[in-house]
Structure 1
Amino acid sequence: MIRLPHLLIAATLGLAALGVQAQAQPSAAAANANANAEYRLGAGDVVRIVVYQNPDLTLETRVSETGVISYPLLGSVRIGGLAVSAAEKLIADGLKNGSFVKSPQVTLILLQIKGNQASVLGQVNRPGRYPIETTDMRLTDLLANAGGVATSGGDILVLSGTRNGKPYRLEVDLPSVFGPTADAGRANDVIIQNGDVLWVDRAPIVYIYGEVQRPGPMRLERGMTLMQALATGGGLNPRGTERGIRVHRKGADGKVQVMQPGMDDSLKDGDVVYVKESLF
């Protein structure tokens, strides 16, 4: 009778400990994920290395093409391809094992990221080269760094580079990245690697001229019909007639075909819509 409360307390404490352990597991997994996503040093990166209470071991240098730096007391140290924390540990171990510093505390600071970069070209707001700061940087991250797709840009993106030493090319339909399910979007939002080039093509265009309110080129939205294109152009003016609408379309052989489509027929990139003047 006396032991029962103690057994209950012990059981309660045991369950609480299990609960704490279960809560700690996701945190450890998250920490491992963050470690895997840490930036890895590459050729051309500029770094500053500081050893606590050892100012004579402070060094600012550039990682060579072979991934090597020359560090005081240690000579050539290969840090290319290592995460920042791994490079710090490598230098600290070298100083400790060589009996140069008893308990070295090494800090490596990235001053310039040149070793891992990707380019964004085409119809974006800020084309250029951008650093790959984490190993899990994705296509949408790179596109965001470039300011997103410009108003003249289309939905089709082309990512090219190398994977496993072989040429790599992937065509991505941007709306599919934000598809109905997270898994589908994640599959299309691929991870960017060093040297990748992202190309954003221009949006498809149709041209309207003749007896319309606002003739000229316009963006062809996905699935846009002839009626929608005419509406975007302000519709027919008082002299225009629906019976006089013709669409000029270039075929695969390069020859232009003249068609008289229905109002609900879809247009294609490069179509020229001509609205004739009514004779009555």
Structure 2
Amino acid sequence: MKQLDCWPQKRHAVLLAMLLILFGFGATASAEYIIGADDALQIKVYGYEDLTTETRVSAEGRITFPLIGEVVLGGDSTFAAERKISRLLSEGGFIQNAQVSVTISEYKSQQIPVLGYVNKPGLYPLESQSTVIDAIAMAEGITPLGEERAIITRHRDGKTIKQEVDLHNTLENSETNALFPIEKGDVIYIPKAPVFYIYGEVQHPGAYRLEPNMTVAQALSLSGGLTLRGTLRGIVIERRDSSGKSETVEVQLTDVVLKDNVVVVDERLF
């Protein structure tokens, strides 16, 4: 069969646009990221270039910084770490009101995998109040063939739990979004959307993303409409019945297309 055509439909395109507007391409971790073991940090003090330090957080959450020595940063946000180092420099009599910058140069301790049909699958930094929408936005949204549904696999009290999230409804309702925070150890997966196939006398035969309650007429429109030789008479759907047997059924334009249905458009007789 012909390879899937990536023709995003209106509802899916709106979802992707909302993700990009709300969170932007390539979203990065903010000051809410919680520093943990094995994170790599770059620490700068404005006006004191000789104090610039590249360091890695120890298993105990500690780093060593010039003048003040060992500092515990594990469990702090980057903003809290900046204030702590500034305070210690002041209390030690070294620099008063130091302007400190702490950035994460390598995320190791707090990461979450975003997998499946997203534009950039991979590991992304986990912030203290991240939600499933935040994580998908960091992966640059779902692909045209991704379903508007996320499966979150999490481990709680020795048990594996799976939750499903309707992304479209969640984006439209900020309160619902808040109900799906993500934590370390969670795995987010975007499954492949259901598809249907259309062949015969249409402009662009192939496989397409199936939207809820899509009709035969909408399927025809998505494939570019009929060719000059096509006819609306005798359109059939090839499918499997409840027992798994193949069947061919003649349909009307208002009939609903289901997952994996094959719509066949006949050639008209002159």
> 1:1-280 to 2 correspondence within 5 Å?
38-48=32-42, 60-69=54-63, 78-84=72-78, 101=92, 107=100, 109-112=102-105, 113-132=107-126, 134-163=127-156, 166-179=159-172, 181-187=173-179, 190-251=180-241, 253-278=243-268
Question: How far did residue 161 of structure 1 move?
Answer: 3.0
Unaligned runs of 5+ in 1: 1-36
Q: What is the SS of the residue equivalent to 1:202? A: coil
| Identity across matched positions, percent | 41
Unaligned runs of 5+ in 2: 1-30
Alignment check: 8 A CA contact 1:45 1:110 kept:
no
Q: Which amino acid aligns with 1:62?
A: R
Structure-2-length-normalised TM-score = 0.69
Q: Which has the larger displacement, 144-153 or 249-258?
A: 249-258
Q: Which amino acid aligns with 2:210?
A: L
The structure with higher relative contact order (CA 8 Å, sep 6+) is 2
Alignment check: 8 A CA contact 1:121 1:128 kept:
yes
Alignment check: 8 A CA contact 1:52 1:104 kept:
no
CA distance in 2, matches of 1:54, 1:241: 77
Question: How far did residue 116 of structure 1 move?
Answer: 0.9
Question: How far did residue 185 of structure 1 move?
Answer: 4.5
CA distance in 2, matches of 1:115, 1:124: 23
Q: Which amino acid aligns with 2:103?
A: L
- Mark the CA change 1:184 to 1:192 in structure 2 (over 3 Å): closer, same or farther: closer
The count of residues paired between Structure 1 and Structure 2 equals 237
- Mark the CA change 1:59 to 1:68 in structure 2 (over 3 Å): closer, same or farther: same
Question: How far did residue 157 of structure 1 move?
Answer: 1.8
- Mark the CA change 1:55 to 1:267 in structure 2 (over 3 Å): closer, same or farther: closer
> Which residue in the other structure is 1:10 paired with?
none
Cα-to-partner distance string for 1:32-58 (whole Å, 9 max, x where unaligned): xxxxx8322112211256789999987
CA distance in 2, matches of 1:159, 1:81: 25
Alignment check: 8 A CA contact 1:207 1:218 kept:
yes
Question: How far did residue 244 of structure 1 move?
Answer: 2.2
Question: How far did residue 195 of structure 1 move?
Answer: 3.5
